[in-house]
Amino acid sequence: MAQAKEPFEFRQCVSISKSTGKKAKNLRELRDAIATVSNESIFHHTHQYFLRGHILEYTNDFAHWAGESLEERILSEHLSNIDPYAFKNIDELRQELLHVIDVYLENFPEPREVVAGAEFYFKETITLIFPVGLRAKNLAEFLIAIKYIDVAAIYYHFYEARVRLGVDDFSRWLEDSLNKKELAENIRSIDPFMHSIEGIRERIIEAVEKDLRKEMEAIEP
Amino acid sequence: MIDQYAGISPKGDLVLLHKLGEKLYNKSFLHINSTRAGGGVAEILHRMIPIIKELSINARWEVIEGDERFFEITKKIHNSLQGNVENMTEDMWEYHYEVNKRNAEKLDLEADAILIHDPQPIPLIEFKKSGKWIWRCHIDLSNPIEEVWNHILPYTQKYEAAIFSVGKFARAAGIDEFIIPPSIDPISEKNRELTDEEIKETLHKFQIPIDRPMILQVSRFDRFKDPIGVIKAYRMVKKYNDCILVLAGSPATDDPEGEIVLKEVQDYASNDPDIHILLLPPFSDKDINALQRSATVVLQKSLKEGFGLTVSEAMWKGKPVIGGAAGGIPLQIIHGVTGFLVHSVEGAAFRIRQFLNDPHMAKQMGEKGKEYVRNNFLITRQIRDYLSVWYAMENKGKNILEV
């Protein structure tokens, strides 16, 4: 079996939530707070939504709140359609969130306030990153590791990596260190918004197993 | 001891615990609360301190002492902070401070990090010697009686940070405020696997029949836990489905109101032979475990709640759970996925009937609940978070930390 040029070192991250002290009980308050909260808070409520066992109907906390607490389905659909990875920086993402809310406020009746206790609480996080003590030197080791690592490790390499590098860590390693272009492409084609992290794990396993099977069945000349 | 969590807790949590143990090697970590027994705080400290020690951190747990008057006052403070109107006078606040002052003279308050649990010992900050002082608030501060909060706030602001169990409990006191949910210990006597004999032994001891479905609520006899509402819901269910109700709770030394509420509940249950009200002595963990494992449906119908860890306890045992949408319960129960959230007696009765009539759904939700607890509400995660906050405070100003 082909050995990687560089082993894949599995890492994961843990987020500790911090309250910002800001909350919103209606859409205007949410809008005003989105305009002023820290970048870390916007990051937490958009990118890190995927780390917390998200409901597939939504792709960020704002859409989730609009759907579940404000019960404004159209607004939640529009907010869910925002891809946080499509923006160069948090400020651009913030402007898009504000734009979607402003358009909604112009075109639809003002939503009612949420019931007491269902307010939106703005948070930030402190993130700790650490190696989990696992390295894969070839595709078989990579497969075993993917099967058993925590969901937080998959989040770190599949989602968080997009912020760092614009692409997930797995496909980059498969392409750069193992020369597995097709497999890398298959993993890149997994839609990050349409699966839970367990779902992402299953799809990666499926793609890697398919590739391994092909490798095993190949007849050496 | 920490090795016992391998294969139970997520591996990453255990790896990070060891790494944080290396970073905080030989430092001292002092916890102070107001009761050694009864209630979730004491229970988790009993389990947590030995684990932190094993990570080569010098963890200590001290308990402040107070007389009946002190605990009556702190109960009033506790209730007011959760939104109940209580009559607090200036001399009560003075007594609250005085008792803490006396405790400060007796206790060794020197440590690198000091975690003060809840409002009873909050004035100890006035006697700070060294280290990082953190106020750990376990109760729901989202809607306090302002006048009482205004007495607590100046103490809070002297701490370097505060920790709340749920985001909406935080109060914007102008200090760093972290959100850390509490947790259960999967290998404790209360949550470990039990043999059939052990379960039967408990049921036999309390003369609980096993021929019909059992609805269970485990909690202190406290009005916020709505034990009367639970009996009302049970009576609604009973019209359609034969079942028994078990209400089980332990008294706590810092809760003088418990006896009054217990009497009310006993009167309300009247002479229904299918309602079993059990007043369990402290450390009845195995019996609680056995009751939870015997239950068909577990209720936590709280009206106000700190966090409601009995929900996670029942979920860890794979049980279908119905909880009041209060405090931290919605963080544990994802409605329709890991259990049901209810807002009324009628809602509770309806969901109990649903579970009793659809065992397949009850089983599926129970299994999902167990996995959810594994990833979010085990003790190893909570220790990881406490140490992470401490480590973050040692590295103030950084949002991303490589460990």
Residue-by-residue DSSP string for B83-124: T------HHHHHHHHHHHHHHHHHS----SEEEEESSTTGGG
CA B357 to chain CA centroid, nearest Å:
30
Query: What number of other Cβ atoms are within 10 A of residue A188's Cβ?
Result: 14
Instruction: Show the beta-strand stretches assigned E in B302-355.
Output: 321-324, 340-342
- pLDDT value, residue B352: 98
Angle (CA) A153-B161-B41 rounded to 5° is: 75
One-letter amino acid at B12 equals G
Task: Confirm or reject contact between B83 and chain A (CB < 8 A).
Answer: no
- pLDDT value, residue B40: 76
- pLDDT value, residue A54: 59
DSSP strand pairing (B176-179 vs A3-24): antiparallel
CA B149 to chain CA centroid, nearest Å:
21
One-letter amino acid at B182 equals P
Task: Confirm or reject contact between B146 and chain A (CB < 8 A).
Answer: no
Residue among A117, A125, A132 minimizing CB distance to B15: A132
Helices B285-294 and B309-316, packing angle to 10 deg: 60
Residue B197 φ then ψ, to 5°: -65, -45
**List of chain A residues whose C-beta atoms are within 8 Å of the C-beta of residue B334:** 55
Low-confidence ranges of chain B (pLDDT < 70): 251-255
- pLDDT value, residue B131: 96
Rounded to two decimals, the pTM is: 0.88
Spatial distance between the Cα atoms of A104 and A78, rounded to a whole number of angstroms:
9
CA distance A183 to chain B (A): 27
Smallest CA–CA distance from A130 into chain B, residue: B403
Residue contact A126–B392, C-beta within 8 A = yes
CA distance B287 to chain A (A): 33
pLDDT band at A1 (very low <50, low <70, confident <90, very high): confident
| Residue A1: HSE in the Cβ half-sphere, 13 Å Cα cutoff | 14
Query: What number of other Cβ atoms are within 10 A of residue A41's Cβ?
Result: 22
Spatial distance between the Cα atoms of A15 and A124, rounded to a whole number of angstroms:
9
- pLDDT value, residue B335: 84
DSSP string across B360-401: HHHHHHHHHHHHHHHHHSBHHHHHHHHHHHHHHHHTTT-SEE
Residue contact B168–A124, C-beta within 8 A = no
- pLDDT value, residue B110: 96
Tokens for B130, please give them: 């060294």
Contacts of A93 (CB under 8 A, 6+ apart): A42, A46, A82, A84, A87
Residue contact A53–B178, C-beta within 8 A = no
Residue among B142, B167, B403 minimizing CB distance to A130: B403
CA distance A64 to chain B (A): 13
In chain B, the N- to C-terminal Cα span, in Å, equals: 23
* Chain A contact probe: residue of B156, B389, B402 with most A CBs at under 10 A: B402
Count chain A–chain B contacts defined by CB atoms under 8 A.
Answer: 90
Query: What is the average pLDDT value for chain A, to the nearest integer?
Result: 93
Alpha-carbon Rg for chain A, nearest whole angstrom, is: 20
pLDDT value at A221 more than 80: no
- pLDDT value, residue B41: 87
Residue contact A130–B164, C-beta within 8 A = no
Task: Confirm or reject contact between B402 and chain A (CB < 8 A).
Answer: yes
Spatial distance between the Cα atoms of A200 and A194, rounded to a whole number of angstroms:
9
Of A216 and A186, the one with more pLDDT = A186
CA distance B171 to chain A (A): 7
Give the containing element (helix H, strand E) for B163. Answer: strand B161-164
Helix and strand numbers, DSSP H then E, in chain B: 14, 13
Residue B83 falls in which region: left (phi positive, over 0), alpha (psi -120 to 50) or beta: left
- pLDDT value, residue B277: 96
Q: With beta carbons less than 8 A apart as the criterion, state whether B135 and B156 touch.
A: yes
Residue B118 falls in which region: left (phi positive, over 0), alpha (psi -120 to 50) or beta: left
Instruction: Show the beta-strand stretches assigned E in B172-283.
Output: 176-179, 214-218, 244-249, 275-279
Question: Which neighbouring-strand residues pair with B276?
Answer: B246
Q: With beta carbons less than 8 A apart as the criterion, state whether A83 and A193 touch.
A: yes
Q: With beta carbons less than 8 A apart as the criterion, state whether B216 and B298 touch.
A: yes
Could you say which DSSP state residue A159 is in?
I
Residue contact A12–B170, C-beta within 8 A = no
In chain A, the N- to C-terminal Cα span, in Å, equals: 15
**List of chain A residues whose C-beta atoms are within 8 Å of the C-beta of residue B177:** 18-19, 21
Average pLDDT over every residue of A114-126: 91
DSSP strand pairing (B244-249 vs B275-279): parallel
Average pLDDT over every residue of A209-219: 90
Helix and strand numbers, DSSP H then E, in chain A: 11, 2
- pLDDT value, residue A219: 83
The complex scores an ipTM of 0.89
CA distance A121 to chain B (A): 7
Could you say which DSSP state residue B184 is in?
B
3-state secondary structure of A129: strand
**List of chain A residues whose C-beta atoms are within 8 Å of the C-beta of residue B15:** 130, 132-133
Residue among B176, B179, B384 minimizing CB distance to A14: B384
Residue contact B12–A153, C-beta within 8 A = yes
pLDDT per position as a tens digit, B17-29: 999 999 999 999 9
